[in-house]
Structure 1
């Protein structure tokens, strides 16, 4: 997302989510100072800039129905709002700073170089956290058969063999996801996420 779209998206979040919740009378969470609340709102606007107007309206309605505080008159904390937003409209892969950073990092480059990038992407979409050593081991194990299969198909093509339609379709889908991962890595590198 370029800076103009980001700025427009942030304004949209302010107009369609933040202001309506404030008009409903929801006050800042009691655990936050005024400055902390303003920073939370600013961060929410930046993180939710990718959302469509319709989905922001749905998020506003959901958040209004789930206020926090003992009197149910407080703004929900950012983590709750972000969880609800991810259920309503998950951020695209290119919109996620985490996914960009992982693919710009040595971990992402290893996944791209060794063919397990699609499984890494799937794990990141699901967990939304940086994978540790144990998670990486599991990702590689889950990717093992697919990596072998693509290597086999590429070898057969290099010999001049023809693939059946199922194999060909699977190969095209797999290579498409790998290419998507490469683009995400480039975005992450442009963001300065390279380690």
Structure 2
């Protein structure tokens, strides 16, 4: 047995390569789905990722497996952004910046919306996962703002996410959409001004 084998060096390198390949495939699939829809040829995704088509099929035997993996990757990134912003920003600012992150996720999701709304049982759990992962994080930001008096009470994270998603969808659908402006209006309505706090 070689020193590399004994130390586990070779398996670690293999795992690192596998992780890089997985990330490359998911990023490439996201971009191809956004550009060409979910029917984008696997060879195009493989070429963009710099891997063989066989690598994709070994990890994602069905196209639905790849679509779900891309969805969950982007969802996890959006959830992680909520955690980061909650730790680094005041609640009103965290909400505004997170709304931008959600808009990017919604824009990505439009690339495979036809699959998600196809009625295929493979995708049935995704809407529940969407709210299940995001709502608790957004609710923590809302609750923190209510406690410090900078965000109005009585607004649920689920309702806010639905509203922001619709506005982001409008923005993604049309360059002249009112999404960004109406998002500002919505968030302005949630924010309690410092002047009102002082009264």
Pick the TM interval, shorter chain: under 0.3
**Structure with a larger share of its residues in helix:** 2
Normalised to the residue count of structure 2, the TM-score between the two structures is 0.26
Normalised to the residue count of structure 1, the TM-score between the two structures is 0.27
The answer to which structure, 1 or 2, has the higher relative contact order (CA under 8 A, 6+ apart) is: 1
